[in-house]
Amino acid sequence: MRRTYPQATGLAVTGVAATGVLALLLPSALAARGIFESKPLPQERFVVLAQPVGQDRWKLLVLEQIKRKPLCWTPRADSLVEPTLNSFNFAGICSRYLDSNGYSIRSGDSDLGTRFRLRLMQQGSTLQLQAFNPDQKAPILVGHAPIPQRQRNGFVRLELNNDWRLERRAYQGRSLSHIYFANPDPVQLLLAKAIHQSRGSSLARLGPPRGPSMPPPLPTTSLSNSFFASRHSNGQRVASAGPIPLQVIPYRSRP
């Protein structure tokens, strides 16, 4: 007798539909498949800030000025930035991008949010914004800034490096509320540049190459004089640099 399995067929159809729904709900799944697009943005509407946390840590923050007034951030005389959006209801005026849900890395036409994360690293009096992957030899430098001073309510403004721009994630032409730190070069090229720069900085810290140092000259004159003096004092013969005179005994014949 022929058997049919309507329930199993229904489950298979439902599973395919569920996969499509999950792909729409999970941005990481879309990013892995390369479905997201990227749109350019007016850079003057954005600021990339580093917020001091605790004694030595930093937190990345991106602010967007949607309307002209009131200002979402204000530069201070001490070269720090005041996030003035906290002093008013900024809904519809400002946008904040606080973590990996709000921003990620894009290289070429690929989303790198699942492979790279953004981090802030302090190098002396300089702050670096890096795209970091623990499986890679060197981080990719995205931005930097000098640290004028460290204050609890004073944010440091970061400048993006060459070819890095803020762009907006899009899906089928529709803009989404997600910001890219984007670079047109593929990630392989960015990693190669990062490794080259890392090696160059390591060699610079070691200084220019130097040849082997020559040993100091021996004091030959004083050594020879002291040697000859000690030989004379012991009653030993000393070799002379000139000819040595020999005593000649005259020959006498026998009678």
Q: Is residue 6 part of a domain?
A: no
Q: Is residue 226 part of a domain?
A: no
Q: Is residue 216 part of a domain?
A: no
- Over its length of 255 residues, how does the chain's per-residue pLDDT go in tens digits? 443 333 333 333 333 333 333 334 445 545 545 799 999 999 999 999 999 999 899 999 999 999 999 999 999 999 999 999 999 999 999 999 999 999 999 999 999 999 999 999 999 999 999 999 999 989 999 999 999 999 988 999 999 999 999 999 999 999 999 999 999 999 999 999 999 988 866 544 555 656 666 666 665 554 445 544 445 445 455 455 556 666 666 656 555
Q: Is residue 244 part of a domain?
A: no
Q: Is residue 239 part of a domain?
A: no
Q: How many domains does the chain have?
A: 1
Q: Is residue 177 part of a domain?
A: yes
If we measure between CA atoms, which residue out of 122, 111, 103, 93 comes closest to residue 35?
111
Distance CA 106, CA 165 (A): 10
Q: Is residue 225 part of a domain?
A: no
Query: Domain range spanning residue 108?
Result: 33-204
Environment class of residue 13 by beta-carbon count within 10 Å: exposed (0-12), middle (13-18) or buried (19+)? exposed
Q: Is residue 254 part of a domain?
A: no
